[in-house]
């Protein structure tokens, strides 16, 4: 990988010399960046990445290639017009590029940690900027090619080798355009807001993107079937503003040899925009970037942007009412506050809720499958809450967990129990209350016992985890450790078995008169007993 990139930039030496960039230092910086990047875990496919393993990137690429073939297969099904399908295809790919940019690489572009190494050396800031741009482009292009490999192959099959080649080049150009757009947007943001606030905004955008991705998989399938039915090409004015449309137009030209005005406009846009934006970036972004280099990362600046925290009386009230003893109280406030503030936690925990919104919308859309949707909403919520409960063990500050081993905690179970109470009070109760209200409007009062039963089942699900062999203190595990295959496996098994079994029991018991009411009480008692067991967990069961 590293060698391949170095070879490519060696070939482009003339271009860098033309841009007046000191090539040897550029090459050195790029080489080191690539080496380090190979050792960095990626947020998108963490499940496949082993801790600090050199080929973690290759593995996640393999996964994406596999997916790209499933996704790209739709290209085989168009009949006359290529435009609509390719529009969807390119839109998806551009979305993935933006997603990768935001989740992994935007920080790379404006990362200040290597300032301390690079700025005191005789290296021009223009070189640093170009090195970052190359770094980012290499990985975005690699990931995107993996994402579109299936589409390239199927394009070759359907439209011939030349069309495949055009598609290949299109993807690379699309990458560059997306990188430029995201870069420009990011720079604009840094102008408006600063420091931690900026990171917060990016965090929320990341959650939003992940959410869209979850929903998009569901909606997308319907979308494609609609596209396949329609053979009409409708080019609206806004298509001229969206890069996927330009490339879809190009594919239409290749497929059906159209040469009307819109297609010519698309093609000229493709030919000009990447190069114009490269020129603009080099001329206007580079100076701004150089300025931001000297501004950011200086302690005086960051100290003034520190966020003040207001004490919430609700939290104090809840922690007093709901917990017993100072250990439980400490854990309760601790978990509550960190989950409200830790960006990484939100990114990990919240996107799964996206699909629930989708099911709720479907529930109200008078679909024929309304009965099924009811169960999906009730038990997908259960799945989400269970997912959140598993995220409270991970943190970037996991090393700070030394404090637990160091304090006189006789029963670590108290801490775990306090954390569980946060899960129940902060997520489980509000989620089911919301579902209850929504379902009340839809089905009327008789649905309430079902909602309560599903809620109790969720508690039971959380309670069952007391039978685990090993436990961890809240926020004491590093995120890379999350990747241990065995752990994931057991989690998936639990979710794939336990939740459907509970849903199944619910479905059948709802046929029996008073069945739900009776079982709610029985399950509630079992769940509460199991949850109480958490208190008794000893240090022997806490992992290190």
Partner 1 sequence: MENLTPVITIKNLIKVYDATLVLNDINLEFYAGQITGYIGPNGAGKSTTLKILIGMLEDFKGEVSVLGFDVRKDAMEIKKRIGYVPENAMLYEVLTPMEYLLFVGRLYQMEDYIIEKRATELLSILGLKEVLDKRMNTFSKGMKQKVLLIAGMIHNPEIIFLDEPLSGLDANAVILVKEILAKLKEAGKTIIYSSHIMEVVEKLSDRIVIINKGQVVADGTFTALKENASSLSLEGIFSTLTGNSEEDQSLSNEFVSVLASR
Say whether 146 sits in a helix, a strand or coil.
helix
Among the listed residues 116, 192, 306, 469, the single contact to partner 1 using CB under 8 A: 306
Among the listed residues 11, 326, 365, 467, the single contact to partner 1 using CB under 8 A: 326
| Comparison of 54 and 298: residue with beta carbon closer to partner 1 | 298
Among the listed residues 409, 462, 499, 516, the single contact to partner 1 using CB under 8 A: 409
Say whether 253 sits in a helix, a strand or coil.
helix
Least distance (Å) between residue 475 CB and partner 1: 7
CA distance 286 to 153: 37
| Comparison of 234 and 326: residue with beta carbon closer to partner 1 | 326
Among the listed residues 61, 327, 347, 384, the single contact to partner 1 using CB under 8 A: 327
| Comparison of 40 and 343: residue with beta carbon closer to partner 1 | 343
When asked if residue 92 is in the footprint of partner 1 (CB under 8 A), the reply is no
Taking CA atoms, 314 is separated from 23, 284, 333, 336, in Å, by 59, 48, 11, 11
Decide: 119 and 291 in contact? Cβ < 8 Å: no
CA distance 362 to 34: 45
Q: Which secondary structure element, helix H or strand E, spans residue 171, and what is its range?
A: helix 161-192
Say whether 471 sits in a helix, a strand or coil.
strand
Q: If DSSP states are collapsed to H, E and C, what string results for 388-428?
A: HHHHCCECCCHHHHHHHHHCCCCCHHHHHHHHHHHHHHHHH
Q: Give the per-residue contact string, 194-213, with partner 1 (x = CB under 8 A; - = no).
A: -xx-----------------
- Region of 5-13, 168-176, 305-313, 519-527 interacting with partner 1 (CB under 8 A): 305-313
Query: Nearest CA to 175 among 121, 84, 100?
Result: 100
- Region of 7-15, 60-68, 148-156, 329-337 interacting with partner 1 (CB under 8 A): 329-337
Least distance (Å) between residue 103 CB and partner 1: 20
Binding residues among 439-498 for partner 1 as defined by CB under 8 A: 475
Least distance (Å) between residue 345 CB and partner 1: 9
Q: Which is it for the CA torsion 136, 142, 143, 145, positive or negative?
A: positive
CA distance 64 to 216: 16
Among the listed residues 403, 492, 496, 517, the single contact to partner 1 using CB under 8 A: 403
If binding means CB under 8 A, how many residues of this protein chain bind partner 1?
Answer: 37
| Comparison of 192 and 306: residue with beta carbon closer to partner 1 | 306
Least distance (Å) between residue 309 CB and partner 1: 5
Tokens of 123: 């290296």
Using CB atoms within 10 Å of the CB of residue 22, give its burial: 0 to 12 exposed, 13 to 18 middle, 19+ buried: middle
Which residues contact partner 1 (rule: CB under 8 A)?
A: 195-196, 299, 302-303, 305-311, 325-327, 329-330, 333-334, 337-338, 341-342, 395, 397, 399-400, 402-410, 475
């Amino acid at each position: 990988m590293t060698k391949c990139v170095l070879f490519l930039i060696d070939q482009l030496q003339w271009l860098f010399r033309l841009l007046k960039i000191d090539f040897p230092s550029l090459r050195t910086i790029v080489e080191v960046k690539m080496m380090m990047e190979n050792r960095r875990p990626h947020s998108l496919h963490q499940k496949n990445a082993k801790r600090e393993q050199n080929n973690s990137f290759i593995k996640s690429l393999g996964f994406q290639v596999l997916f790209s073939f499933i996704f790209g297969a739709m290209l085989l099904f168009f009949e006359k017009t290529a435009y609509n399908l390719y529009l969807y295809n390119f839109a998806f790919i551009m979305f993935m590029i933006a997603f990768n940019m935001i989740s992994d690489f935007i920080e790379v572009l404006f990362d200040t940690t290597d300032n301390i190494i690079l700025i005191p050396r005789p290296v021009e800031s223009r070189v640093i900027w170009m090195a970052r741009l190359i770094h980012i482009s290499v990985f975005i292009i690699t990931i995107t090619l993996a994402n579109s490999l299936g589409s390239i192959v199927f394009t070759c099959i359907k439209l011939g080798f030349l069309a495949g080649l055009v598609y290949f080049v299109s993807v690379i150009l699309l990458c560059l355009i997306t990188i430029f757009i995201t870069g420009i947007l990011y720079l604009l943001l840094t102008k408006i807001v600063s420091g931690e606030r900026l990171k917060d905004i990016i965090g929320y955008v990341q959650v939003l993107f992940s959410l869209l991705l979850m929903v998009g998989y569901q909606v997308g399938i319907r979308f494609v079937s609609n596209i396949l039915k329609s053979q009409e090409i409708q080019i609206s004015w806004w298509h001229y503003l969206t890069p996927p449309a330009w490339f879809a137009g190009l594919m239409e030209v290749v497929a059906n040899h159209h040469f009307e005005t819109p297609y010519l406009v698309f093609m000229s846009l493709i030919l000009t925009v990447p190069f114009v934006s490269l020129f603009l970036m080099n001329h206007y972004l580079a100076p701004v970037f150089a300025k931001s280099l000297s501004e950011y990362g200086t302690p005086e600046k960051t100290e003034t942007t520190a966020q003040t925290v207001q004490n919430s009386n609700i939290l104090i009230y809840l922690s007093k009412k709901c917990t017993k003893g100072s250990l439980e109280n400490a854990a309760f406030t601790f978990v509550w506050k960190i989950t409200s503030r830790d960006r990484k936690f939100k990114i990990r925990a919240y996107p799964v809720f996206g699909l629930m919104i989708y099911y709720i919308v479907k529930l109200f859309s008078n679909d024929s499958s309304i009965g099924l949707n009811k169960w999906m909403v009730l038990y997908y919520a259960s799945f989400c809450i269970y997912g959140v409960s598993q995220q409270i063990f991970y943190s970037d500050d996991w090393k700070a967990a030394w404090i637990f081993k160091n304090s006189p905690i006789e029963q670590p179970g108290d801490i775990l129990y306090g954390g569980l109470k946060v899960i129940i009070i902060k997520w489980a109760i509000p989620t089911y209350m919301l579902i209850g209200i929504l379902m009340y409007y839809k089905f009327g009062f008789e649905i309430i016992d079902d909602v309560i039963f599903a809620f109790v089942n969720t508690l039971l699900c959380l309670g069952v985890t007391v039978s685990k062999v090993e436990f961890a203190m809240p926020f004491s595990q590093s995120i890379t450790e999350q990747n241990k295959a065995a752990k994931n496996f057991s989690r998936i098994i639990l979710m794939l078995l336990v939740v459907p079994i509970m849903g199944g029991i619910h479905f059948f018991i709802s046929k029996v008169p008073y069945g739900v009411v009776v079982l709610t009480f029985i399950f509630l008692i079992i769940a509460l007993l199991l949850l109480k067991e958490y208190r008794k967990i000893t240090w022997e069961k806490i992992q290190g």
